[in-house]
Chains A and B, each alone.
Chain A
Amino acid sequence: MAEIVIKGVAKQFGAFTALHSVDLTIADQEFMVLLGASGCGKTTLLRIIAGLEAPSQGEVWIGGRRVDHLPPRARGIAMVFQNYAVFPHLTVFENIAFGLRMANMPQAEVERRVTRTAELMHIGQLLKRYSGELSGGQRQRVAVARALAMEPDVILMDEPLSNLDALLRLEMRAELKGVLAQSKTTTIYVTHDQVEAMSLADRISVMNGGYIVQADRPTEVYRNPAARFVGSFIGNPPMNFLPASPDGAGRWRVAGRVFDGPHAEAAEFAIRPEDLQAASDGLNAEVRVVEPLGPHTLITAEVAGQPFRAVLESDRQVAPGDVITLAPVPDRIRWFDPETHKAIA
């Protein structure tokens, strides 16, 4: 059982605040992804949980035990580093065995665990090699095997796939998901790649400027962004935003059209590009760029002077300069407060 509770954790580096009082609870065996652009504080938060960085304020609890004053080795964690950190002077076997040796595990048990995790990560035939003789993908596997061999309560992963090429990343992603689900550990996984986050996570914590903006299931984060930032960060292409003004009759005027909206002083209209349909009635969009992507065609247009993207069926014939009418799917329209940028229910 290893529930992780983070209470009011903040971190300052000199005058720079990397984390502003973060609160987060990660359930036992949950796969939590910390997602954000570089500099958002996600790696700092991970390193604080690992014990490689001390929080300026706040508490970290792992499995009901307060750990923020304990060294990393007393926290029951294992970690996979961005650059793998596979020790160059040790063979693959000794790399995987490193943590077990530090724990003074009997040789027979070390061999059993190393063999088992190496088989699991498909590197059983590489045990005698040095890391200099391995490819990036193989090193990545060694790093994961080393963490799994500890049979830890918690595995922390810092952008583990970011140094792999695209095809290998796809393969490792699926494999990691399977292996980690089997191992029944609590996992915290840091990435800036939203596709990785969506595909791996039980829950995603979207981070921005040292805050956790939203922590929820991937579909929820995608469908119902808690803030404008989440909508603009997740989704490729991201959400479209248009200014709205009240029409006096309880509805909202957006780019010359009228929509049902929230009861609020002011609001901003938002819709995902794939939630638009070409129809006879809707927003008038002047097409600027057409990008056929195979299954879909991505249209970059202008609506009321604002850039606006739509994902349409690929059989639609559209050319730059055309004016088309895009109808938002009514229950997919979202509204944000233009002041606080928070979602309005």
Chain B
Amino acid sequence: MNRALPYLLLLPASLFLLVFFFYPFGLVVVESLTRGGEWTTENFTRMTGHWKFSTAFWNTIWLTAIVVPVQLIMALAMASVVQKLKTGRAGLLYIFAIPLGISDLAAGLVWLAIFEQSGFLNSILHAFGVIDRPQLYLGYQSLWVIFLAVCLAEIWRATAIMMVIIVAGMGLIPKEYNEAAEVFGASAWQRFTRVTLPLLRPSLQTALILRILMAFEVFAVVMALGGTTLPVLMGETFQWQFQLQDRGVAAAYAMVILGLSVAFSLVVLRLLHVPKGARI
């Protein structure tokens, strides 16, 4: 009885996941591989054949490739500073965590309020006399501005989650390692790269996987700032599902996002692998 108890306690949650996650997930897989009741790869050919697919694919990849590394560096820098604080640490963590409490759509709207034609950026530039009439920033003529605005919004919105994980991870590293490195001749930068970073690998794994998955699913921020001008994978999934009413192709898109997520998670796990016996 005692041995079975933990499993029994976990059973409802497990069943819930099986029924409401894996079952629909299985349906999506089937959906992506069937058309009119027949097994086929037609959905995937349709998806890749559409002119927006490769743009959406590469936009998503580029967004991830730019946003995640920038966030990683910022989170590491911020965590290193927070780690050194003697007082006010908790307060600062709360402040940094504020964007986490805002939904991604709201975050997109905040930045839309800045960049749109009647937005804050135009008002400020006009007030200082830099421009004499409002500029259109988020038009299709200047895609890179939309791209940049999305990057900014994403960085602003989701750096804190990485930082919180990294701060927790840094707290787990005993101070003596740093002191030993210091005594044995390591500069502050060397201590960071040779001691802190390697010992932080488990936390970096968590932070990176979490963040990369979120980046592949970027949607609401892009919608708010660019609509469909800047296609991304998740946006296309939405389009095919609800505008074009083609659930098969939408399911195929979902599979692509899933494939990317799994592949990159494996890469992160492999790159940041800590051999047995080498853990703290």
Q: Which residues from chain A sit less than 8 Å from chain B, CB to CB?
A: 50-52, 71-73, 77-79, 81-83, 85, 87-90, 98-99, 102-103, 129-133, 146, 150
Contacts and interface: CB of A to CB of B under 8 A. Distances in A.
Contact of A73 (B176, B182, B201, B278): B182
A71 B280 contact: no
Contacts of A83: 174, 176
Contacts, number: 69
B179 A129 contact: no
B181 A98 contact: yes
B183 interface: yes
B209 interface: no
Contacts of A85: 174, 176-177, 179-180
A88 B184 contact: no
B183 A79 contact: yes
Given A73-B184, A78-B183, A88 B280 contact: yes
Contact of A81 (B179, B190, B201): B179
Nearest to B185: A102
A117 to B, nearest CB: 13
A78 B176 contact: no
A103 B275 CA distance: 27
B259 interface: no
Given A89-B199, A130-B275, 12 more contacts: A50-B183, A51-B183, A52-B182, A73-B184, A73-B185, A78-B183, A79-B183, A83-B176, A85-B179, A131-B278, A132-B279, A133-B277
Classify chain B: how many residues form its interface, as a range.
Answer: 20 to 34
Given A73-B185, A150-B184, A88 B176 contact: no
B195 A88 contact: no
B186 interface: yes
Interface of B: 174, 176-177, 179-187, 190, 195, 198-199, 201, 274-280
A77 B279 contact: no
A51 to B, nearest CB: 8
Most B C-beta atoms less than 10 A away, residue of A52, A73, A85, A129 = A85
A102 B190 contact: yes
A73 to B, nearest CB: 4
A85 B191 CA distance: 14
Contact of B186 (A78, A89, A102, A150): A102
A52 B183 contact: yes
A83 B178 CA distance: 13
B278 A130 contact: yes
Given A88-B199, A89-B198, A146 B184 contact: yes
10 contacts: A52-B179, A73-B186, A73-B187, A81-B180, A85-B176, A85-B180, A88-B199, A88-B279, A102-B184, A102-B186
B182 A72 contact: yes
A52 B179 CA distance: 7
A129 B184 contact: no
Contact of A132 (B176, B190, B276): B276
Nearest to A53: B179
A103 B276 CA distance: 29
Contacts of A99: 184-185
A320 to B, nearest CB: 48
Contacts of A129: 277
Contact of B180 (A87, A89, A130, A133): A87
Nearest to B278: A130
A71 B181 contact: no
A85 B199 CA distance: 13
Given A89-B278, A132-B277, A103 B174 contact: no
Given A85-B177, A87-B177, A132 B278 contact: yes
A83 B179 CA distance: 12
B101 to A, nearest CB: 35
A87 B177 CA distance: 6
Contacts of B186: 73, 98, 102
Interface-centre pick from B186, B195, B278 (highest chain A CB count, 10 A): B278
A98 B275 CA distance: 19
Given A89-B198, A102-B186, A103-B185, A79 B277 contact: no
| Closest A-B pairs by Cβ, 6 of them | A102-B185, A99-B184, A132-B277, A85-B180, A130-B277, A85-B176
Contacts of A51: 182-183
Contacts of B181: 87, 98
A291 B105 CA distance: 79
A164 B64 CA distance: 50
Nearest to A132: B277
B193 to A, nearest CB: 12
A146 B185 CA distance: 12
Contacts of A81: 176, 179-180
A127 to B, nearest CB: 14
B239 to A, nearest CB: 46
B196 to A, nearest CB: 10
Contacts of A90: 278
Contacts of B198: 89
A50 B179 CA distance: 10
Nearest to A99: B184
Contacts of B174: 83, 85
A130 B274 CA distance: 11
Contacts of B184: 73, 78, 98-99, 102, 146, 150
A81 B179 CA distance: 9
Nearest to A150: B184
A81 B178 CA distance: 12
A73 B280 CA distance: 24
B183 A77 contact: yes
